Amino acid sequence: MHEDDHDGLTPAQIAEAMKATPRGALALAGITTGLLMAAWLAMYFLVFLPRGSVG
């Protein structure tokens, strides 16, 4: 296969795929960041605060 073949896709098809790519990246980043925040908040409220005062 030649490099210029673009995996058999036409420039129009590639442009269409590139439009959707940022939405996918945002969805992936949003889900992973959301899970990270949820895990942090769960540790904070379910483990850290119930263990009580220290200082």
Which residues contact other proteins (rule: CB under 8 A)? 22, 26, 29-30, 33, 37, 40-41, 44, 48-55
Q: Name the residue among 28, 51, 31 with its Cα closest to residue 39.
A: 31
Closest separation in Å from C-beta 50 to other proteins = 8
Closest separation in Å from C-beta 1 to other proteins = 27
Our CB check for other proteins shows the closer of 9 and 44 to be: 44
Q: Which two tokens stand for residue 24?
A: 């996918």
Closest separation in Å from C-beta 44 to other proteins = 6
CA dihedral 12, 17, 19, 22 (to 10 degrees): -160
